[in-house]
Structure formats: structure tokens, C-alpha cells
Amino acid sequence: MAMALNLLMLGPPGAGKGTQAERFARTRGIPKISTGDILREAVHAGTDLGNRAKAVMDRGELVSDDIMIGIVEERLGRDDARSGFVLDGFPRTVPQAVALDRIMAGRDPLIVVDISVPERELVRRLASRMICADCGANGAPGEILCCRCGGQLVQRTDDNDAVVLERLRIYNTSTRPIVDFYRTRSTFRAINGAQPPDTVAAALAAAIEAAGNGNGRMRGGRR
């Protein structure tokens, strides 16, 4: 059997991880697993998890490692993730990255792609980012309704100026260190996210192919 394409997208908030993850997962027919989406759905549904996570998310802080690791372990254990997945928004701390290695033991290797974008560009993007109030999809620039379900586009409650700066601060202190955690692996690649989405998508596909080939056979890659 071909190796599973287990892709991890790293990058600061606003780098375009979610958009690129969704696009890539759709073209390859593998699930996109976004911990931010899972939490927002829980908030929307008013579950216990959602009620506990909401205040933390609205402050731009991180939900606890224990909760997040439990969510991801359960999700990666489902059948649809066996032939591959795109993970977006996890890990965000070194303990989460260590736990992910444990969860992935015995499975095909992770391909790790870091999308980098200068901070002033991130602030600009986050201030103008819109999502659908009903389904949570990213809104297209300039549109007022969701192109997926027709719902109203709104600003994320954690995309206002003060919270954006806090999220970038937390990214720099807690999440950036995991780039170094992965950087020395043969399956690590970095790409420039400060380009048009189609260009980033092409760079992502090329990086994945190169990382996969560096690591033997990979679904869709050359030998």
C-alpha cells in the first residue's frame, strides 16, 4: 500500500494555513483536521468543551495541552485519517509536538511544512479576515456572504486588534519553538507564505513532493 500522506502545517495565525490545508486536503481526498475549527464548532454547539474553551479563545490564549492532545488523539484514530490527513493548528506547544510523535508511533512519517509571513503582513491580514457565522468557512475577500452555504460573513471574535497582538505574542513564545523541534527532520520544509494563494499552493505541493521523495515512497510522489 502507498504510504499515507500525513501533513502538518505550521505557521503563525494569518499565514494562510487553514486556506491551504483545506485546498490541499480537498485535492488529495484526505481529511483536514483543524483544532481551531473543532473548538469553534464546540463553542457553536454549546458543548462542555465549547463552554470551557470560549473564554480562553476570546482572550487569544491557548486551550490546555491535555484537552488538545485528547482531541487530536481521538480524531487521528478514526478510520478516515488512516490514509493521510492535513493537520492545521496543532501542535502549538512543544508538549503537544512530543505527544503527536507518540500518537504517530508506528504510522507513516509526518511531513512538516512551515509557512512564513512577516508580522506586519499578518496583522494586516487578520484585521480584514472574515469567516462564515453559520459554517465557519473562510470568507472570500470583498464578499459579504459565504460562498459555501450563503451564511453571513463576520469577523472572528479573536481577530480584533488587541487579541491579534496577543495571539502573535503567544505564537512567538509558545509555538515558534516547535519549528526548531521539527527543522532537523528530513521531512521538514519551509515555504514563503507572503505570495498569492495559488503561488503558495504550488510551493506547498512542491515542498510536499520533495519531502516525500526524501523519505522514500509517498502517495502521489515519484520513487
Q: At closest approach, how far in Å is the CB of 155 from ligand AMP?
A: 13
Between 87 and 191, CB nearer to ligand AMP: 87
Between 125 and 212, CB nearer to ligand AMP: 125
Between 85 and 90, CB nearer to ligand AMP: 90
Residue 148 annotated in active site: no
Q: Is the CA virtual torsion 155, 157, 161, 165 positive or negative?
A: negative
Asked whether 86 and 25 are in contact (CB, 8 A), the reply is yes
CA dist., res. 45 & res. 23, Å (int) = 25
Q: Which of 124, 167, 219, 223 is catalytic?
A: 167
Q: At closest approach, how far in Å is the CB of 57 from ligand AMP?
A: 4
Q: At closest approach, how far in Å is the CB of 163 from ligand AMP?
A: 8
CA dist., res. 85 & res. 18, Å (int) = 13
Residue 120 annotated in active site: no
132: part of which helix (H) or strand (E)?
strand 131-132
Residue 167 annotated in active site: yes
Query: Contact positions toward ligand AMP, by CB under 6 A?
Result: 13, 35-36, 39, 56-57, 60-63, 68, 89-90, 92, 96, 158, 167
Q: Which three-class secondary structure state does DSSP give residue 67?
A: helix
Task: Return the C-alpha cell found at 172.
Answer: 512567538
Q: Which of 40, 54, 75, 129 is catalytic?
A: 129
> 156: Cβ–Cβ under 8 A, 6 or more apart, which residues?
129, 131
Task: Return the C-alpha cell found at 156.
Answer: 472572528
Asked whether 20 and 115 are in contact (CB, 8 A), the reply is yes
Q: At closest approach, how far in Å is the CB of 15 from ligand AMP?
A: 10
Q: At closest approach, how far in Å is the CB of 171 from ligand AMP?
A: 9
Residue 17 annotated in active site: yes
Q: Which of 17, 23, 75, 125 is catalytic?
A: 17
Between 75 and 212, CB nearer to ligand AMP: 75
- Supply the angle between the helices 161-170 and 119-128 in degrees, to the nearest 10: 140
131: part of which helix (H) or strand (E)?
strand 131-132
Catalytic residue ranges: 17, 92, 129, 156, 167
